[in-house]
Structure 1
Amino acid sequence: MILVDDRERASGICDRLTALKVEHRVTHLPTADYVIDGRILVERKTTRDFMVSLHDGRLFQQATRLRADCRRAIMIVEGPSLPGRPGVRGALCCLAVKWYIPVLRAADLAGTAWLLARMAGYDSYRVQPFCGYHYRAKGATLNVHERVLCEIHGIGPERARRLLERFGTAVAVLNASLPDLLAVHGIGRSAAGSLQELRLPSVTALRNGAKESGQEQ
């Protein structure tokens, strides 16, 4: 069952879900645009909505509210591709690493409905849990911080573990200075460079980056 916020009714999403034979109900949701099976909160934003909310600071306020609900949260950005500016890429990193909110892309409303159907696991849309990559170190499944770091070029399970022993969290690793990264055993300039490329900027820098992106469009 997918609960659809009443403010989403005008988007036409209900017609799309009906066409996919997905059970859904319109109601008022205080936090997200959709709730899937009572366990997954989904926020839908158009590309323009995402950029505007990043610029005015609402994006991270919304992320905080989603995480405060203590259920799994996902954001769908619908429409043209987001600008590739550092501020935008940094925001995506922040959402994934700091708030544990992955951002999925949909080209249009039909794509959003398709993603919702997959998440709900209906009929031919039934899939396994999202995390398809299971890195293992000495027989143990890695935690979410290790998985995030393992996705970065040049950082495998062993290096991820050493980084976390030194810095504690993936966010702290991404905020670390180059000298501090190089001080970790096994981290050379290539691996440190990959981490520095994803270094998380401040919220002010993120907003400035988004503003610059908007001016260039």
Structure 2
Amino acid sequence: MEIVVDSREPQIVIEELQKLGVNVKKQVLSIGDYIIGSDHIIERKSGSDFVQSLYDTRLFDQVHRMIEEYDNVIIILEGLEVDSEIRKNIFGALAYLVIRRGITILPSTDKISTAHLIERLASWIQEEHVDPILMRGGPKRLTLREKQEYFVQGLVGVGLKTAKLLLDNLGTPNKITNAITDSTILRTRTGNPKGISGELAEIKGIGVKFVERNKELLTKIH
């Protein structure tokens, strides 16, 4: 199992990951702290850093940049203690990140616990774990809308929330697939992707990675 870790992360976390048998590759990452899969990135935040990044708005910029590059963004909150005076703001930010941005937020008590949590997450992503309860079931006795949601979840990186978002904005699975194939990836002068054009560009959380992977799914002949 291999994890790419930002070289500025605490040594105690890195050493604990290595004790757990993880092959740690240290790099200076421009976004996130731990890359545990091609579509999965983790941002580790101490409670105090989370609060500070919320008030200086750095948090939302970090989240936006991660969503642009990765389909699955995870924030590990380490030792968060919430004072009654700021409880509403903190919980409001957490609710926004989970419900509106589709971020997974997981708690941790300390750096050692964080290392163990990261190792388990990476294990489920990189190794085979078969759990029939978690497998995507067939569309039995569903309404038309539910069948459409089920169909759209067959796209790369699409869960129920994203399926609902796409259908709410575009109406039908046919319009969604057409919007994907009609989308154009915008690039900088040096050729790096900087965004997308077309109907999907108006939908929050849908970016370059989504279009690239699903265009390949819909148009490439195996």
TM > 0.5 between the two? yes
1:213 corresponds to which residue?
A: none
CA distance in 1, matches of 2:98, 2:25: 29
Deviates more, 1:64-73 or 1:77-86: 77-86
2:54 corresponds to which residue?
A: 54
- What is the one-letter code of the residue matched to 1:54? L
Unaligned segments of structure 2, at least 5 residues:
154-158, 170-222
Aligned match for 1:103, one of 94, 102, 105: 105
- SS of match in other structure, 1:7: coil
Q: Is the 8 A contact 2:3 2:24 kept in 1?
A: yes
CA distance in 2, matches of 1:48, 1:41: 21
- Kindly report which structure 2 residues correspond to 1:28-177, keeping only aligned pairs within 5 A, or say none: 28-83=28-83, 85-121=87-123, 138-139=141-142, 140=146, 141=150, 144-145=160-161, 168=168
- What is the one-letter code of the residue matched to 1:106? S
1:7 corresponds to which residue?
A: 8
- SS of match in other structure, 1:100: coil
Q: Normalised by the size of structure 2, how large is the TM-score?
A: 0.57
Q: Normalised by the size of structure 1, how large is the TM-score?
A: 0.58
Q: Is the 8 A contact 1:75 1:103 kept in 2?
A: yes
Residue 23 of structure 1 and its aligned partner are, at CA, apart by: 1.8
Cα-Cα RMSD: 3.4
Q: Is the 8 A contact 2:47 2:80 kept in 1?
A: yes
Unaligned segments of structure 1, at least 5 residues:
148-160, 170-217
Identity %: 29
Q: Is the 8 A contact 2:41 2:70 kept in 1?
A: no
Deviates more, 1:81-90 or 1:37-46: 81-90
- SS of match in other structure, 2:8: helix
CA distance in 2, matches of 1:15, 1:42: 17
Residue 68 of structure 1 and its aligned partner are, at CA, apart by: 1.1
Structure 1 residue 20 and structure 2 residue 36: aligned? no
Q: Is the 8 A contact 2:40 2:70 kept in 1?
A: no
User: Stretches of 4+ moved more than 6 A in 1?
Assistant: 133-137
- What is the one-letter code of the residue matched to 1:44? R
